Amino acid sequence: MSVPSSSRQLGPQLALASTIAARAELLLIGIVSGPDGPELAGDFGLDAELVGPLEASLAAVGATGRFEELTRIPAPGGLGVDAVLAVGLGDRGGVIDASDPAAAAEKIRRAAGVAARSLTGIAHAATTLGALDLGAAAEGLFLGAYLFTEFKSAAPAAGRLPVARVDLLVAGPRAKEPKQVLARAIAIATATAVARDLVNTPPSHLFPAEFAARAAALGEEVGLGVEVLDEKALERKGFGGIIGVGKGSSRPPRLVRLSHKGSRRKGAPTVALVGKGVTFDTGGISIKPAAGMENMTSDMGGAAAVVATVVLAAQLKLPINVIATVPMAENMPSATAQRPGDVLTQYGGRTVEVINTDAEGRLILADAIALTCEKDDPDYLIDTATLTGAQMVALGSRTPGVMGTEEFRDRVAAISREVGENGWSMPLPAELRGDLDSKVADLANVTNHRWGGMLVAALFLREFVGEGVQWAHIDVAGPAYNTGGPFGYIGKGGTGVPVRTMIAVLEDIAERG
Ligand code: BES
Ligand code: ZN
Ligand code: ZN
């Protein structure tokens, strides 16, 4: 499996092992809360006579096995490491032989992430967590250890470096299956980290042309078909939404197309991906308040996730066709910016009255959706965007809103919950559509009220989705970017959501059509 060479080291080196290496400094174990105190969540490969004393030592310093609890103790003699770190997994039934395997996997992923965040300064650790769920443990470790330091002028002190290597202890490390499970988990976590890196790169350094160049480079490294339209081509071909949003900036817009031809079979499904790539959203002439505006560096989170996902689809050699269409623009106020009241013509000919220049995402997405539906004849279309503040009002900062054609919407939302990204189906109430009627144009880009803002934005996009296309729209305004403290395997800043949802949906389509 090829990993883009231009990307930095995005996470710790993860390897399979059947014994604790001599150089390992620390053993990370999972504990559950038992009736008489903490219990090892399996004693995988540990000497039986070490288990009792280990549990007793942990109990003696107050460990309970409560979910996400961390307890670090000196290692008992004979274990061959300096220290043991125990992470709580909660009730035994929640993680071992659990009735809900997806929930169990997410617990392990989160616990591994919490542990990885506390392993700074450790060069080499080993863990038994992989014996519970190898893929979930690997993803949690990799993503929990993710750190973005590109714009720090000094390297972190040794004690603050993320863990460099973790050996996952499993029986029979030479077996084929664990190798494949680990490789897939590393690929998925790496793609998530690639999306995080793009989101975390500040708008000074990631503007449309630069974003397009990085997306093209990532695509070329894995053999994707790559096409980049610059502002002249966009103007010539009638991408009025992308031009309108981008024209207030001295840094012109782009449209990137990345295609993975995974199958030549006639009737193989084609999935179109579209992601909002606003490299910075000031609101334009309808300018945003100053407080929190810096967070609008994340307004290309949908685009970052889509780029990372199509690259991953190629790496995983998914036997379907995936084509990503990614509009990129910077929304700035200036003498050349579009005005409230302007009318633009979207790709395909529909006109839109731009009442609020801060509702810009839907304008660039409409062009991209219209293009991919016209050119690619997709069976499925997933678009994702940091589209509305209303997403956070409705669902909070960690729950993506999923809208679209009902069956596919519910399939995407269910898969999103399975992978721990927690998407939730939302309706498209018919009565709201009329509120987007315009006096002068075919459509207005906003309504004259605040109600159902997330749903209204999706209703606007629906106007551009081709007939018969199974469509899901994922609003990740909150989930793409964590402005609070770290939790689980998610640190501050870009989260990589919804990469893991989209790749799981693509795998599901590859398997079931
Ligand atoms: N990029 C914002 C949405 C957003 C808000 C993302 C908060 C992440 C966090 C989007 O372009 C926007 O400004 N939407 C407006 C739409 C409104 C003018 C109808 C909004 O949500 O206020
Ligand atoms: Zn906006
Ligand atoms: Zn925006």
What pLDDT score does 47 carry? 81
**What are φ and ψ of residue 501, in 5° steps?**
-65, -50
Residue of the nearest CA to atom 9 in ligand 1?
Answer: 477
Nearest to 384 by CA among 297, 272, 260, 249: 272
Q: For ligand 1, what atom is nearest to the CA of residue 388? A: 21
288 belongs to the catalytic site: yes
* Axis-axis angle for helices 361-376, 453-462 (nearest 10): 30
pLDDT, mean of residues 28-48: 89
What pLDDT score does 48 carry? 83
Q: Which helix (H) or strand (E) holds 137?
A: helix 134-144
Q: How far is the CA of 387 from the centre of ligand 2 (A)?
A: 8
How many degrees, rounded to 5, is the angle at CA 403 between CA 500 and CA 381? 65
pLDDT digits (tens, 9 = 90+) for 158-181: 999 999 999 999 876 566 799 999
pLDDT digits (tens, 9 = 90+) for 50-71: 899 999 999 999 999 999 999 9
Residues with CB under 5 A from ligand 2 (ion): 281, 358, 360
Q: For ligand 1, what atom is nearest to the CA of residue 391? A: 21
Average pLDDT over the chain, rounded to an integer: 96
pLDDT digits (tens, 9 = 90+) for 383-427: 999 999 999 999 999 999 999 999 999 999 999 999 999 999 999
Give how far the C-alpha of residue 7 lies from the chain's centroid of Cα atoms, to the nearest Å.
17
362 belongs to the catalytic site: yes
Residue of the nearest CA to atom 13 in ligand 1?
Answer: 358
Q: Is the pLDDT of residue 40 over 60?
A: yes
- pTM of this structure: 0.97
Q: Which member of 288, 398, 417, 462 is catalytic?
A: 288
Q: Is the pLDDT of residue 81 over 60?
A: yes
Those residues with Cβ within 8 angstroms of residue 279's Cβ, 6 or more apart along the chain or in another chain: 203, 206, 207, 208, 211, 251, 297, 299, 300, 328, 329, 330
Q: Is the pLDDT of residue 2 over 50?
A: no
Q: 293-309 b/e with 16+ CB inside 10 Å = b? A: eeebbbbbbbbbbbbbb
What pLDDT score does 400 carry? 99
Say yes or no: CB of residue 358 within 6 Å of ligand 1. yes
What pLDDT score does 4 carry? 47
What pLDDT score does 283 carry? 98
What pLDDT score does 42 carry? 79
Q: Is the pLDDT of residue 5 over 70?
A: no
Which numbered ligand comes closest to the C-alpha of 386? 1
**What are φ and ψ of residue 472, in 5° steps?**
-130, 135
What pLDDT score does 346 carry? 99
Q: How far is the CA of 327 from the centre of ligand 2 (A)?
A: 15
pLDDT, mean of residues 312-325: 98
What's the token pair of residue 134? 């190898």
